[in-house]
Amino acid sequence: MRLDASTRKTFKPLLLMAAVAVIFTMWQHAAWAHGRISLPEYICQTLGEPVMRAGAKINEVVRDTGRSVFLAGSLAADNRRLRRERDEQKTENILLTEYFRENKAFREKLGFEPDQPVKDIPARVVGRTSASGEQRCRIHIRIIPPNREVHKGDIVREAAGLVGRVIEVKGRLALALLIIDPQHGLGARVQRSRAEGVIKPARQWNEGWPDRLSMQYLRHHADIRIGDVIITSGQDGIYPAAIPVGVVEAVDVSTEQAQTVVATVRPFVDFQRLAYVWVVPQP
């Protein structure tokens, strides 16, 4: 079969582009096999990073402005309430400072090691992927303190509670697996009763509750109630103990032969409004 000149003219660049695609794919596979990223990916990420950061900033401004406009009526009342709460917390803070100093003095007298300096790194959430049901976010670390690096496995948390863990680090960008990802699981316990179980994402598509967790593998007749606070148990070897995870919203006791208790947990972190996080070194 002979191709005419115009067809050949179109066909050649198409073949060339297909060859480039094959090369890039093989390059990526080879780089991933060694735990690195390929040069084309690195270039694209370097170019895309400022846009993602700017996008996150714009989203924040638009959301805050929109919220201010819609909630203008209640803003004054909120402001008064917050001022009152601030005054109360100032008083509480003075008390806590006193307790802290007292505790420090006791620890020194009892021969405890002094507190280690904080190694947490602040980071901004610049992107979110939820393709094929996966729940991950890309974070940008602006300032990395000296003698500190972000590693795969580091814990990502918010002031409110646990967010997830770092699964990939590329320069100042890191990919975090969220605790609501279908692949994620962690050891947890009920803070009040110390009952232990495993936290997995709830089957939100079926239950219609977004971003809910499910506490499973609880012991027979486990003491768990609605309103109980769930924290990490530290038994999984991934997360340290006592990081807040969420609060129990519902408890389902199966009446089948093998009686099981499953609790639905609402995470403390609002994954729909994730903006800033802390990266904490893995213990």
Partner 1 sequence: MLWLYLTEFALAMLLGAWQFAWPTWLRLFEQPPDLAVILLVVVGLTRGPLEGCWTGLVTALAVGSLGSTPLGGLFVSHMGAGTILGLLGGRIFPDYIPIAMLVAAAAAMLMNIVELLFLPPASLGPWLTATVSQAVMTGLVAAPLVALLRPVLYYLSPASQQRV
111 contacts partner 1 (rule: CB under 8 A): no
138 contacts partner 1 (rule: CB under 8 A): yes
> Could you tell me which of 13, 280, 60, 251 has the C-alpha nearest to residue 159?
280
What is the C-alpha to C-alpha distance for residues 144 and 150, in angstroms, rounded to an integer? 8
Q: Which of residues 27-56 bind partner 1 (CB under 8 A)?
A: 28-29, 37, 40-45, 47-49, 51-56
Q: Which of 5, 6, 13, 143 binds partner 1 (CB under 8 A)?
A: 13
What is the C-alpha to C-alpha distance for residues 124 and 53, in angstroms, rounded to an integer? 8
Binding residues for partner 1, how many (CB under 8 A)? 48
Cβ closest to partner 1, residue 59 vs residue 259: 59
Q: Which of residues 195-214 bind partner 1 (CB under 8 A)?
A: 205-206, 210
Which tokens is 54 given? 């700017």
Cβ closest to partner 1, residue 174 vs residue 243: 174
DSSP string spanning 239-258?
S-TT-EEEEEEEEEE--SSS
278 contacts partner 1 (rule: CB under 8 A): no
Alpha-carbon distances, residue 237 vs 30, 185, 201 (angstroms): 30, 12, 19
CB of 37 to partner 1, least distance (A): 8
What is the C-alpha to C-alpha distance for residues 276 and 278, in angstroms, rounded to an integer? 7
59 contacts partner 1 (rule: CB under 8 A): yes
Region binding partner 1 by CB under 8 A among candidate stretches 16-24, 101-109, 193-201, 260-268:
16-24
Q: Are 174 and 152 in contact (CB under 8 A)?
A: no
Q: Which residues, including other chains, have CB under 8 Å from residue 174's CB and lie 6 or more apart?
A: 123, 138, 139, 141, 150, 154, 166, 168, 279
The residues binding partner 1 (CB under 8 A) are 10, 13-14, 17-18, 20-21, 24-25, 28-29, 37, 40-45, 47-49, 51-56, 59, 62-63, 126-133, 138, 168, 175, 182, 205-206, 210, 272-274
